[in-house]
Structure formats: C-alpha cells, structure tokens
Amino acid sequence: MSIHAFRMQLKPGMTAEYKARHDQIWPELTDLLRDAGISDYSIFLDEPSGALFAVLKLAEDNQRDALPGNPIMQRWWDHMAPLMEVDADNRPREWPLLPMFHMA
C-alpha cells in the first residue's frame, strides 16, 4: 500500500457546488475507485486559494492508470469540469505533492 497526494484547483466561486457534488458522489464511481485499488480517499480545501489537496491510498496492484479510459470516470470529469481547472479531456489538472513528513 502506498499513499498518493496531489493538488487540484477550483475555479472562483465553485466551493459550494464542488462540495454538493461530492456529498452526492455516484455509487458507481466509488465502486470503480475501490475496484481500481483506491481507498481512504480524502480531499481538503484551502479556502483562500481554492486549492484542493487530495490524499489516497493505493493498493500495490492498483489500476489507477486505467481509470481515464473508463466511461464512468469520463462522465464524472465532464460533470466536474465547469468547477475546476481541467485538461483538454476534462481530467482535473493535478500537481503532485512530495512527501515531507509522516508520523504513524
């Protein structure tokens, strides 16, 4: 198991809608993420900047790299694209975060 952390960016004024959509996340999306070997997934917001910080656990045999090709994932990205910075395919832009400290 490994930990993966990254930053994403909300567009101004989209905080409430982003939270609302995640409060009603599609069950088929959470199933897809779990089946891909993702667990313990959290997203935190830095309100002044609109930066989102995500942390998740990846199983050793995870299939995270296959998610962009899945229609459920593509639909979610299309659903979220108006709220955040995305690439041309509507995939949320990610900036990796480097581990600096961990206390177990």
Q: Which domain holds residue 29?
A: 2-96
- According to DSSP, the β-strands at 2-9 and 51-58 are antiparallel
Is residue 64 in a domain?
yes
* Structural tokens at position 6: 């990254």
Domains of the chain: total? 1
With respect to residue 16, please indicate whether it lies within any of the assigned structural domains.
Answer: yes
**Catalytic hit among 4, 22, 79, 102:** 22
Q: Is 102 marked active-site?
A: no
Please indicate, yes or no, if residue 60 is contained in any of the structural domains: yes
Give tens-digit pLDDT for 18-59: 999 999 999 999 999 999 999 999 999 999 999 999 999 999
* 6-16 pLDDT per residue, tens: 999 999 999 99
pLDDT of 101 reads 94
DSSP line for the chain? -EEEEEEEEBPTT-HHHHHHHHHT--HHHHHHHHHTTEEEEEEEEETTTTEEEEEEEE-TT--GGGGGG-HHHHHHHHHHGGGB-B-TTSPBP-EE--------
